[in-house]
Structure 1
């Protein structure tokens, strides 16, 4: 009896060790930096619902309200990657700093806009006006596209460099007649009956697209972790579709800041399109000739015209679709 009990304990111990080995067979970690933005909610949703963890990945999400700082952290190896717009990260891509987009999170569909005083009736009326915006940011990228669309250049306006928050504050204080900013400032201006939103990003769909970019070294060394990231985000987007209220509650708490109230999160979320599995595959379909490829080309044209690029960035330099088929 004693021998049998001993044998059973040995078998049980061996089984426990085997199960533990299976559960820890893939245990990775990833650290990402980003600003406070509603479109990054799915990252927090996947983290807090355990979707990353169930695929063996721990994800640390760090809010850093300056793209130059989180990209510097990526360059220094302190972060594995970031969430940012495609155009934004293009400015940091160089022969010394290699990173690629592995997943598209969202596009701004009304979340960015141009605030103007009531006397400005059309985009042409901006000519000669002082415009506050964050130079070198996605706000300037988008504004450059609007200028070109309306037959103008940045020489037709007087650009004052401010953060999106400061630009909105200056507009609300009547110090600036035009401000390129984003939510919640567009809504706050409407609520205060302060000027108007002349145009928002719903007029240019697919131009302001947020992605998760990871360093090339991380991708090469941790393919299972990148696959786990994509799986987790796919599942998070399914929850957004099946139980939006629950998803928004979790994302609001996770993102925090001015989005910590689920009602504010929901209001801001109305200005973005979240990208799930189907949309990712559609967006990156056809490579350099598809939507993503054309956006990279557009980013190259805009930033190179202002000497903002460190290298001639091509589609394959900044995109890796290897993991989008993750199941």
Structure 2
């Protein structure tokens, strides 16, 4: 036995069904948000990407982001060159070298922070200043940033690379190498440097605080992606800025969330942030707008890399900065 049916309801019922079908078909045909794969290391300034992911800001801004974790920046650069990721967190030094070593063009679209003591040379208790590194075994990641910091320290101490013994060690292996006496000093950064501070007698003898404007950290994406998916990149920028604002309003909770992702206690993560200068969303106009602060800084860094013999003077660094129309507009 069927349900009773009133003839007057029939047109309305048909229209309702048609409307539902149209809605369902439109939702099925709507393209899914693009997937952007970003390489990330455990640098505290980049951890705001983890926070944006935890808070689901990427989803809410209409973009899918996969954070691909790497032990070291050189590993992330290799993955970028191989086309395995679309972009990464890195320093402007690494960005310049990635462009020189690849057919791809990385473009910075977010300035996250500048290192002001975060990148550091730590030594055992009988080495107190860079001048005492002569003859020392120094653990150093095979990265351009580590080479730059170490060379800067040697230049200040009037030492040459021939006067030290460099051991190429990944950040992951540095703590064990130091504790087992395989090296006398390390070129390192958080979270490793923060954990090493717990060790008796271990102390910093040189850091990026000696080079406060040199080590600028950015988030880059391949130029092709930026050209083809500008709205997706804007969504990433908005998610990043929301994570930053969440941190300013809820610092304790944010530090706990980000610290967990990079292996530090909340107090340790807070201490790691003291060694960098976070760049607020309000400063993006300075870096990407008329001041061209990012370009000026990158050109200066490039000149220093060239003077050290690390970089190619023919590199055109201006192509490594994303357009202001993309980065400064909401």
SS in 1 for 2:152: helix
2:244 aligns with 237
Provide closer, same or farther for how the CA distance between residues 310 and 67 of structure 1 changes in structure 2, counting only shifts above 3 A.
farther
In the other structure, the counterpart of 1:112 is 119
Aligned to 1:225: 232
Q: Distance in 1 between matches of 2:141 and 2:164?
A: 14
1:215 aligned partner? 222
Pick from 50, 55, 71 the counterpart of residue 65 of structure 1.
71
* TM-score, structure 1 as length reference: 0.84
Hey, what does 1:301 align to over in structure 2?
303
Following superposition, the deviation at residue 219 of structure 1 comes to 1.0
- Checking the alignment, whether the CA contact within 8 Å between 1:165 and 1:181 is kept in structure 2 is no
Q: The residue matched to 1:132 in structure 2 has which SS? A: strand
Secondary structure of 2:150's aligned partner = helix
- Please say if 1:314 is aligned against 2:290: no
SS at match of 1:110: coil
Secondary structure at the counterpart of residue 193 of structure 2: helix
Which of the numbers 16, 34, 50 marks the counterpart of 1:28?
Answer: 34
CA contact (8 A) 2:116 2:212 kept: yes
Counterpart in the other structure of 2:88:
82
Q: Does the 8 A contact of 1:46 with 1:236 survive in 2? A: yes
Q: Which residue of 2 aligns with 1:277?
A: 281
Cα displacement (A) at 1:70: 2.6
| CA–CA separation in structure 1 for the residues paired with 2:64 and 2:124 | 47
Counterpart-to-counterpart distance in 1, 2:72 and 2:179: 22
Q: Is the 8 A contact 2:127 2:133 kept in 1?
A: yes
Indicate which of 32, 41, 46 corresponds to 1:40. 46
Q: Corresponding residue for 1:192?
A: 199
Q: Normalised by the size of structure 2, how large is the TM-score?
A: 0.83
Q: SS state of the match for residue 278, structure 1? A: helix
CA displacement, residues 287-313 of structure 1 (integer Å, 9 cap, x when unaligned): 66x3x3343234323443555446733
Q: Which has the larger radius of gyration?
A: 2
**Structure 2 residue runs without a partner (length 5+):** 1-7
Deviates more, 1:220-229 or 1:6-15: 6-15
Aligned equivalents of 2:268 and 2:19: distance in 1? 52
Give structure 1 stretches of 5+ with no counterpart.
Answer: none
CA contact 2:98–2:106 (8 Å) conserved in 1: no
Partner of 2:5: none
The CA distance in 2 between the partners of 1:252 and 1:122, in whole Å, is 30
CA contact (8 A) 2:288 2:327 kept: no
CA drift of 1:195 comes to 3.2
